[in-house]
Structure 1
Amino acid sequence: MAEAALKQTPVAAMIATLDQPSGGWSDAARKDALARVQSMGLPQRRDEYWKYTRPDTLIQPEALPAALRVSDEVALFDHIDRLKIVFVDGVFDADASDDLTLEGINIERLADASADIHWARDLYGTLETRGQSPVARPLAALNTAFAPDGILIHVTAKVSKPVNFIYRRTSETADAMLHHCIKLEEGAELTLLENGPVAARFNGVLEVEVADNAAFHHVRAQGRDHEQRAATHIFTRLGTESTFKSFTLTANGVMTRNDCVIELTGDDANATVAGACVGDGSDFHHDDTVFVTHDAVNCESRQVFKKVLRNGATGVFQGKILVKAGAQKTDGYQISQSLLLDEDSQFLAKPELEIYADDVACSHGSTSGAIDEDALFYLRSRGVPHGAATDLLTLAFLAEAVTEVEDETLREEITGRLADWLERHAH
């Protein structure tokens, strides 16, 4: 492509606004990612996996201003004993963070890890690159090329308490990219928590390598920032008899796109990705896009997503299970459901199965519906007010997704936060 023509492309316009870190162990991965972005271009509405979600505000050169209207409620996870790692406007804040020393784990800041030889060299951008096939994810490649900050975590044992990424925003125009890499060695275990408003526009990548017999638990809360636009990406690869569990709670936000790409490459591995979403208003748009690849024997995967939508809100789910030849005794489960609390909201779903093995048990289902009138009548007949009865039935609907969170304390806190949201958004 001629240089003059290249200058007119959306990818060139966005790249012109960014500074690419150079030098050190990540340099080759960043240059490769930049070349891939230039080749792929940025996502467009005509792309198969973007037809339900407009990428316009995610790919324009500058973020749209987002007013600072963050709730003053107590932040999720505040009463849990955890190691806190704080980012302000997408930049690591050492003064607000805890000492990054914890037995069984090594934690470093991406921006400070400049040595030519580093354990993360074999991970940074690797899973993201693998996740580009068969579906291109150019925003993730853009992140690999340009993300200036993030956290690198090397886990060598079972970690005694969770690590909590806490995000804070002070600017109405902050545009942030963060790239986190986590490597769990054989038999290691880690719980990662994420919460808080990152930026007016956020592009995040999390790469997680889970070795044999290791376990990774991830619980994330999005949406305290009412006007945030975000595109997040999780890429993970699982070894033999390993476990990966990720749950996302979403409330509020203008536009959120969460991509999750999972590879089960070791026998007897187990992966779960789940989400509970509540949205109110015509500006609310929430998209979960998941791709799970079974490439080993006797593996199990679960996708469980529930969305409650009202006042013109839009929810999207795109989920695929790919079972490769030889991945016998696969157990793949996928369910996506929406509860529409009015006739103006909509739920768009695209569940898929692609199977090349003959000894498998795979299922998928997707439904949309309203509040069960019989159940509502039952509660009303026993003196429960209409609003309270609707909230009880809504929480019961979301419960299947929330129960995918293994830790009871976290489950209770998430349920409490959902109940608080329903109370604030009274009927």
Structure 2
Amino acid sequence: MTTTVALIAALDTKADDAGYIRARLREHGLRVHLIDVGVLDEPLLHADSTREEVADSAGMDLGVLRRRHDRSSAVDVMGAGARRIVEDLVATESIQGVFALGGGAGTTIGSIVMRDLPLGFPKAILSTVASGNTANYVGTSDIVMFPSIVDVAGLNRISSVTYTQAADAFAGMVNGLSTRPDVSPTADRPLVAASMFGVTTQAVMCAKSILENAGCEVVVFHATGTGGRTMERLISEGYFDAVLDLTTTEWSDEVVGGILSAGPTRLESAARHGVPQVVSLGATDMVNFGAPDTIPGTFANRLLYHHNAENTLMRVTSDEARQIGEAIGRKLRLATGPCTLLIPLRGTSALDAEGEPFDRPEARRDLFDAVKSSLDGSAVTVIDIDQHINDEVFATSAARLLLDYLSHVPYTAQASNHA
């Protein structure tokens, strides 16, 4: 049976580009379902899903949309319509991948379509903005973005190179589905999500080793904002049997205004879905910024640590520590399943240790007191451990607590349903 992929493009302005990509994908043995998201001029290629059908799928008449002459509205409508069409094609197993191309508008439409498609489903965008900040396009998904290098505005000796490379790579993703190794977890091998930052690596890797030796599979997420959001998404989708959330630093950035916030829903997924979790306060002593010249002027006189040329860390104050503790406590109170908070009394990161640059015992106490007060009367178990977070004793305690939780709940092995 021929494998089919969807190709999304505005066929009034990107017809030559889409035609070239389609032809290249066909050379790899793929059938192409062409979706037209253009609005203004007449299409220059025949589409399998016409622009009228796309607009109608979003509950909008194309003629009305044209008369608005509103580019933003057109992107929203055609993005929503294309998303519904692709979701239907995926649900009926009519396509095995989706590819989009364009500039800012085409990239936005492509990302609207792809962001919530299943992990592992091939998805790619050939884009003029792929070399910039793509966080708003990719989100927590596994979208692959290919830089077009030049504008997506017809074929030339440069664009034909980047178009070919993108199409060939995407075809490899799709054709590789049939030979992809089976990495699905088994029912007797629980899947654990863990959060980690550079300054909590020692703790997390020690705990990870213990969990793996006990038969668990551990997936580590880098607590950089996107990492936390991705972990939350996959927890909510049922991938994980338990969570080892030792690194909640993203709440520091959310409260104080750093660049690595995971948003106001961080720590909610495991709590609301009853997933067993062992949580700590890793790296909540710091807020993240970029290069020194990017730090807001209001923080000019603060205690800073220059991690590297592109990353600057700022020590939180006692008042900020209280706010961070309160925020974490509010989220953990939502827990509907087993939940323990471990408090490392001797420090929360490699920089927050005796003799290290961020060693501020009073700020630590304010953090600990605030989170305990916020959890008072809740079902969350709070345990003080007179160790630093990166001490082996602390990491071992965290791993053993999580294993104890897992011994009392059935393993879901949900990831096998998503692979």
TM-score clears 0.5? no
Q: Which has the higher helix share?
A: 2
Instruction: State the structure with bigger RCO (CA 8 A, min sep 6), 1 or 2.
Output: 2
Q: Which has the higher strand share?
A: 1
Provide TM-score, normalisation by structure 2: 0.30
Greater radius of gyration (CA):
2
